[in-house]
Structure 1
Amino acid sequence: MTTDSDSGIGLPGDIDADVEAIRTGADELEQLRLTLTGQTEETDTQFRSAAGEFTDLLAWDIGAAAADELILWEDTVQALAYGAATLRQWAQDVEKYRSERASIERRYDEARAMTPAHKTVPMGTTNQLREEHQGHWNTLMEQAVEARESLSNGPSADALARMASSGFLTGTQLSYFGDSYPGMLPDGLPDQADDPATVNTWWNSMTEEEQEEMLAAHPELLRSLDGIPSAVRDQLNRDHLDDEIERMEEEIAALEQENEDRPSSPGARISTGATNFEIEELNEDLGVLRELKSGLQAPPEGSLYHEEKFLLALDTEGQGRAIVAHGNPDTADNVATHVPGTTATWQKIDEQMPRGEQLAQNASDVDDDADTSAITWIGYDAPQSLGAASSHHATNAAEELSGFQEGLRATHQKGSPSHNTVIGHSYGSTVIGHTAQSEHGLDADNYVFVGSPGVGASHSDKLGIPSENIYATQAENDRIDRATGKSHDIDPTSEEFGATVFDAKSGTKGESFPFGKAHSEYFKEGNHSVVNMGYIIAGVEPPEGWSAR
C-alpha cells in the first residue's frame, strides 16, 4: 500500500495511489451514468425523464417497466453517482495527505540546514514532525476505509455529506438518496449557517410549484443563500436591483421636495445644505445601480465577452455586497473568482466587472471548447485605507469566501466538478490566504496571488492544496513591495514561498498613492499577467511554460 521511502526524516513510504488514474476512473463511471440516463453534459436533471432515451439505447422500456426493474435501474444510477464521487473524494484525500507530507519534509530539511554539520536535527523536532505525519496518515487510513465501505456497501450519511461538501455530488444527485437519508435536509427553511450542499439538496427536493412558492415567500433569504442555483439568485437579485433603483429615486424626490418646502432662513440654509449632500450621495449610488443594470443586459456590440451575466448578490447597506458572474458558473467547465482588495465596496462593482470580463475572455481564448465563468466577488468588508496592514478584515472574510466557493461546488450541474480558480488582487490575496488556513477552508483547484502584500503564510504548502497549483505575480513597478514581509508574512513571489511565479508587464512607473499605477494594471488587456491567468483558469500549460519574473 506504500512506496519505498526516501525521506530524510525517516517517514514511511508514500501511499501507493495514482491520483490521475483514480480521477480517470471516476470520469468513466460518470460518463456511464450520463449514458444510462440519456443526459447530455449540459444538464443534470432527474433521471426519470430519460426513460425514452434509455429505451432507445438498450431496448429496455423503462417507462413501462415493472416496479422491481425500475428500482434496479435507479439503484444502478445511484451506484454510479456515488461511485464516481467516492473516487474523486479519495483522490482529493490522497492529494491533501501528500501536501501535508511535503510540508513536513520541507520543515525537516529547513531544520537540518540550520543544524551544524557535525550534529543531527534535535530529536524533539524530529519526533514532533513524525507525530504530525502519523496523525495525517491515520486520517488518510480512516478515509480509505470510508471509501472502501462506500464502494462496497453504499455511502453513509456522513460520507454523502463529505462528498457533497467537496462538490463531488450535486444537489440533484443527492436527491437520489433523499428517502434514505432524510436527515440531510434541514428542518424548515435553511439559513446562512447551513452547508451549501444541504441548501442545494433542500432546493432540489422540491417540486417546481414548491420552489415558486418559496421564491415568492422568501426572496430576501434565497437571493444571497449559497447553494441556491445561480439562475435563481440572478432573477431574485435583478428584482432587488429594480426595487433599489426605485427606492433611491423616491428618496431623492422626497428630499428635493423637502428642500422646496423649507422656508428661507439662516437655519434653513444649513438644513438645505445637509439635504443636498444626502441627495448627492444618493445620486452617486443611483448612478452605480443604473450602470450595473445596464451592464447586466445582453452584451453590446464589441463587448469583450459575450456570455450572459448573473447577479449573485446585491446589498447596498454600509460597504454592502455585489457579486457578478460573467457566464453561468453552474454549467461552466472552468470557474474563476476574483477577490478585489482595499477600498472595494458594492459601489466599486462597475469598475471591477471589466476585470472579470477580461479573465473570462482570456480563459476562453486559451480553450474555446470549454465553458468559462469569471466572477467578480465583492463579498466581504474590505479595508478602506492602509489599515489593510491589519489581518482582521481577511480573518472576518473567511467564512463568506469559503461558503461561496462551497456553493459553487454544490450548484454545479455537470457530471464532473468544474476546474475552480480563486484570484486575489492586493489585499484580496490576503483574504484567500487566511481563508485557506482557516477552519472553513477554501475549496478551489488553484490560488492566484496578484500584487500581494502577503497571504499570512511563510510557505505555499500551508495553504491546503499542492504548491504546484499556487501562482503569484508582481509587476516590477508595483510598489506593493513596500508592504510585503511586514504584517502578512513573506512575498508570495519569493523563491522561499514556493509558488509558481508568472510574468506581468513592468507597469507604469510612479503615479497614484500609495503603490503606484502599476498596482492596478494587472488585468488590462494585453498584460502578460492576465494572459497567464487565462491559462491558469483554463487548466492549460502555456506554450512556452510559465514565464518567471
Structure 2
Amino acid sequence: MDIKTLHDADIIGITTAKNAFDTLATAFGQHVENWQSEVVNRLHNSQWTGTAADHANTRMQNLENELKAAQQEIGLVSRALQDAYDGFAAAQAHLISALDDAKTAGLTVAPDGGITWDNDPKSPTFAGHGAPEHAKQIQDRITAALNEADHADQTINARLGHLATNASNGTGLDSATAKADTDAANALQQIPAAGTDPNSVKGWWNGLTDEQQQRMILNHPDQIGNLDGIPAAVRDKANQTNLKNLIQDRNNQLKNLGPAPKQYLDPAETNGGPVENPDYTEWKRKRDTLKEQLAGFQSIQDRLDGKVDNGLGGPGSNPPLLLLGIGDQGQGRAIISWGDPDKAKNVSSLVPGLNSTMAGVGGGDAMTAKRVYDSAVSSAQINHDTPSVASVFWLGYDAPQLEGSGPSVLMQDRAEEGGAAYNKFLNGLRATHEGEPAHMTAQGHSYGSLVVGKATQQPGGLPVDDIVLVGSPGVGVDKASQLGIGADHVYVGTAKYDPIAMAPAPGMFVPGWAAVEAITNPDGLWHGTDPASQGFGAQRFSVADGSVGDSHDNYFGKDDKGGDSLPNIGKIVSGHGNTITREDPR
C-alpha cells in the first residue's frame, strides 16, 4: 500500500458491492422460502408414499439445507465487505488528516512518503523551527495509516478468499461449513472470555481490522486491557482509559453516598449506653472502601502522569511505562511494566508478596521492578550487550495482608488462584512477543514466590527460562527440579537475618507441629522446603545479611542495603546468570 493508492481509493465501490450482495442474499432468501412453500410443503402434504417418495423427501431436504447454507455464505460476503469498507475508510481518513496537517504546517509530502519543507527563516514559506519534529509526527501518522490499510487488506482478503473457495468447490453448500463460517464471523464481534488461551486471543485480535480493534478498545477497555494475548501497547491504551473510568466511578460513588447518618443511636433507644448507628457503620464502611480504592487508582494515575519519581535518568534512561492490567476485583489488580515486553529481549515479571496493595503499585513498591530494570541494563552493558529489557510488576492477585485478612499468609489459596493467573499472563507475553522469543525470568518475593511456585504447576508449566526467589517462605514443592525448568535455572536469595529464613514457620504458629516438622523436614518453612537449603537444590546467590527489621524488604536495593542481591538479579534477568556472586546453601 502506498500514499497515492490509499488516498485515491474509491472505497464507495466496496459499499456498492456490499449492497449488491445484500440484494442477492435477500432475493436468494425469497427463493428459499418459495421453494419451501411451493415444493417442499406440497410434497409433504401430498399422499405420495413408498420408497420413491422417501428418496424424494430426503433429496428435497438435502437441497433445502444446501440452499440455506448458500444464503448464509452470501450474507457472510456482505459482512466481510462492510468490514472492508470500515477498515479502509478509517485508514483513508487517517491518511488524509495527516496530509492536511502537513500542508497546514508548511510541509510537503512526496508520493514516496518523503517530507520536505522550507528551512529558510527569511522565507515567507518558512516552516518554523519545529518543522523536523512536526515532520516526524506526520511521517509516523502516515506510516500508521498505510499499515492500517495493509492490515485491513490482509484480513479481509483472507475472509473473502475463504468464501470464494467455498463457492468454487461447493463446500459452501454444506450446512456444517456454513455454520462454522458464521460462527467465525460472529466471533470477531465477541471478545474472548477471560482465561481463554492467549494464542487463541492473539489469533482473534489479529483477525480484526484496525478499525474494529479501535472500536473494541473504545467500547470495552476493561476487557481488552486485561486480556492475556492482546499486545502490550494495546493493553496499555485500553487500561489507561479504564483507569480514568475507575477513578471517575469512585468519585461518583463517593458523591452519591450523601451525608453521614448520625453516628450514635438516641440514648432512649439503647437504655442510655452509646451504641453506634448501624446505618452509620455501613455508610462508613462503604466510604472507607471507596476512598481506599480511589487512592490506589489515583496513585497509579499519578505515576503514569509523571507526578511520582520513577527513578528515571539512570542506566535504563527513560523506558516507556506501560499499564498492562488494572481492575477492581478483590483488593484491586495492577500490572505495570518498565519497557515493552513485546519488544524486549529480556523480560522480567516480579510477583510481590505480603502486604502488597494497589496503592503500593502507584507508590514505592513498584519501584522494585524499576530497580531490576536498571540493574539488568547495567549487566547487559557490562557484558557488551545492547540493553533490551522490560521489567514487570505483577499484582494480579490478592496478596495476604497482616491486618484484615487473618492468617492468609499461612494459607495457599491465594497463591493457587494467583499462580493460575500469573501463568496465563506469562503465556500471554510469550504469545504477543515480536521476533525471536524473549529470555523470560519469573521473580517471586516473599509470598509472591509461592505464587510463582504454584504457577509452575499449571498444565504446560511456566513459560520462563529462569526463576528468581527471594525472601521465600517456600514455593509449594520440595525440590528446585520440580519447578519444571531445571534446578540450574532456579536462583534463590535469602538474607541471614530475614525473619522468613530464621524460623520454620509452622512452629511459630502451631507449637505442636514444630517438632513433627523438624523431624520430617528440618529445612521446612511455611510452604515446603526452604528454597535456600542445600536439599532444595537451587543456585543460591549472595545477598546482604541485613537485620531482622529490614532484611526482608532489601533484596531489590532499597536504601542500598541489599548488598549483591540486586546486581545478581540484574545478571540473571539479562541472561548472565552464570556470572552471579554465589553463596553456599544452608
Do they superpose with TM above 0.5?
A: yes
Q: Quick one: distance in 1 between partners of 2:580 and 2:326?
A: 41
Aligned to 2:422: 401
From the superposition, tell whether residues 532 and 279 of structure 1 become closer, same or farther in structure 2 (CA, over 3 Å).
Answer: same
Deviations 1:161-207 (A, max 9, x none): xxxxxxxxxx99x9899989x99979613222421011112111222
2:228 corresponds to which of 208, 211, 226:
226
Aligned to 2:534: 495
Unaligned runs of 5+ in 2: 3-150, 163-179, 268-274, 506-522
Q: Is the 8 A contact 1:186 1:198 kept in 2?
A: no
Give 3-state SS (helix, strand or coil) of 1:497's partner: coil
From the superposition, tell whether residues 332 and 185 of structure 1 become closer, same or farther in structure 2 (CA, over 3 Å).
Answer: farther
Q: Quick one: distance in 1 between partners of 2:345 and 2:185?
A: 30
1:19-418 equivalence runs, <5 A: 188=187, 189=190, 190-255=192-257, 257-259=258-260, 266=266, 270=277, 271-272=279-280, 275-276=283-284, 278-298=286-306, 303=312, 306-350=318-362, 351-368=364-381, 369-385=386-402, 386-413=407-434, 415-418=435-438
1:399 Cα deviation from its structure 2 partner: 2.1
1:542 Cα deviation from its structure 2 partner: 6.4
Q: Quick one: distance in 2 between partners of 1:436 and 1:398?
A: 8
1:531-542 equivalence runs, <5 A: 531-541=567-577
Q: Quick one: distance in 2 between partners of 1:328 and 1:488?
A: 33
Q: Is the 8 A contact 2:542 2:581 kept in 1?
A: no
| Matched letter for residue 519 of structure 1 | H
| Matched letter for residue 422 of structure 1 | A
Q: Quick one: distance in 2 between partners of 1:230 and 1:248?
A: 26
Q: Quick one: distance in 1 between partners of 2:460 and 2:186?
A: 23
Unaligned runs of 5+ in 1: 1-47, 50-170, 512-516
Give 3-state SS (helix, strand or coil) of 1:356's partner: helix
Whether 2:512 is the aligned partner of 1:510: answer no
| Matched letter for residue 282 of structure 1 | L
From the superposition, tell whether residues 220 and 496 of structure 1 become closer, same or farther in structure 2 (CA, over 3 Å).
Answer: same
Q: Is the 8 A contact 1:391 1:487 kept in 2?
A: no
1:492 Cα deviation from its structure 2 partner: 1.1
Deviations 1:291-335 (A, max 9, x none): 211111358585355211111111123222111111111111111
Aligned to 1:149: none
Q: Kindly indicate whether structure 1 or structure 2 has the higher relative contact order, using CA contacts under 8 Å at least 6 residues apart.
A: 1
Give 3-state SS (helix, strand or coil) of 1:546's partner: coil
Q: Is the 8 A contact 1:453 1:485 kept in 2?
A: no
Deviations 1:414-450 (A, max 9, x none): x211110000111111111122123252111111111
Which 4+ runs in 1 deviate beyond 4 A? 174-180, 182-187, 261-265, 271-274, 298-302, 541-545
| Matched letter for residue 215 of structure 1 | I
Q: Is the 8 A contact 1:185 1:198 kept in 2?
A: no
Give 3-state SS (helix, strand or coil) of 1:318's partner: coil
Whichever of the two has the greater Rg, that structure is 2
From the superposition, tell whether residues 342 and 192 of structure 1 become closer, same or farther in structure 2 (CA, over 3 Å).
Answer: same
Q: Is the 8 A contact 1:338 1:423 kept in 2?
A: yes
Deviations 1:49-108 (A, max 9, x none): 9xxxxxxxxxxxxxxxxxxxxxxxxxxxxxxxxxxxxxxxxxxxxxxxxxxxxxxxxxxx
1:462 Cα deviation from its structure 2 partner: 1.3
1:2-13 equivalence runs, <5 A: none
Aligned to 2:553: 520
1:370 Cα deviation from its structure 2 partner: 2.1
Q: Quick one: distance in 2 between partners of 1:362 and 1:247?
A: 38
With 498-507 and 457-466 compared, the bigger mean Cα shift is at 457-466
| Matched letter for residue 419 of structure 1 | H
Give 3-state SS (helix, strand or coil) of 1:447's partner: strand
From the superposition, tell whether residues 177 and 480 of structure 1 become closer, same or farther in structure 2 (CA, over 3 Å).
Answer: farther
1:463 corresponds to which of 483, 494, 503:
483
| Matched letter for residue 475 of structure 2 | V
Give 3-state SS (helix, strand or coil) of 1:314's partner: strand
Aligned to 2:497: 477
1:219 Cα deviation from its structure 2 partner: 2.5
1:547 Cα deviation from its structure 2 partner: 4.5
1:510 Cα deviation from its structure 2 partner: 2.9
Give 3-state SS (helix, strand or coil) of 1:367's partner: helix
From the superposition, tell whether residues 273 and 457 of structure 1 become closer, same or farther in structure 2 (CA, over 3 Å).
Answer: closer
Q: Quick one: distance in 2 between partners of 1:362 and 1:185?
A: 46
| Matched letter for residue 345 of structure 2 | D
1:449 corresponds to which of 466, 469, 474:
469
Give 3-state SS (helix, strand or coil) of 1:417's partner: coil
Deviations 1:94-128 (A, max 9, x none): xxxxxxxxxxxxxxxxxxxxxxxxxxxxxxxxxxx
1:342 Cα deviation from its structure 2 partner: 2.6
From the superposition, tell whether residues 187 and 536 of structure 1 become closer, same or farther in structure 2 (CA, over 3 Å).
Answer: farther
Q: Is the 8 A contact 2:541 2:581 kept in 1?
A: no
Q: Quick one: distance in 2 between partners of 1:279 and 1:379?
A: 24
Q: Quick one: distance in 2 between partners of 1:186 and 1:322?
A: 33
Q: TM-score, normalised by structure 2?
A: 0.58
Q: Is the 8 A contact 1:472 1:493 kept in 2?
A: yes
Q: Is the 8 A contact 1:320 1:345 kept in 2?
A: yes
1:371 Cα deviation from its structure 2 partner: 1.7
| Matched letter for residue 380 of structure 2 | D
> What number of residue pairs does the alignment pair up?
373
1:230 Cα deviation from its structure 2 partner: 1.1
From the superposition, tell whether residues 276 and 542 of structure 1 become closer, same or farther in structure 2 (CA, over 3 Å).
Answer: same
Give 3-state SS (helix, strand or coil) of 1:505's partner: coil
| Matched letter for residue 292 of structure 1 | I
1:238 Cα deviation from its structure 2 partner: 1.1
Aligned to 1:90: none
Q: Quick one: distance in 2 between partners of 1:317 and 1:253?
A: 22
Give 3-state SS (helix, strand or coil) of 1:394's partner: helix
Q: TM-score, normalised by structure 1?
A: 0.61
Aligned to 2:455: 435
| Matched letter for residue 524 of structure 1 | G
Q: Quick one: distance in 1 between partners of 2:438 and 2:294?
A: 36
Q: Quick one: distance in 2 between partners of 1:358 and 1:326?
A: 10
Q: Quick one: distance in 2 between partners of 1:389 and 1:505?
A: 26
Q: Quick one: distance in 1 between partners of 2:438 and 2:195?
A: 24
From the superposition, tell whether residues 392 and 288 of structure 1 become closer, same or farther in structure 2 (CA, over 3 Å).
Answer: closer
From the superposition, tell whether residues 277 and 537 of structure 1 become closer, same or farther in structure 2 (CA, over 3 Å).
Answer: same
Aligned to 2:444: 424
RMSD value, Cα = 3.5
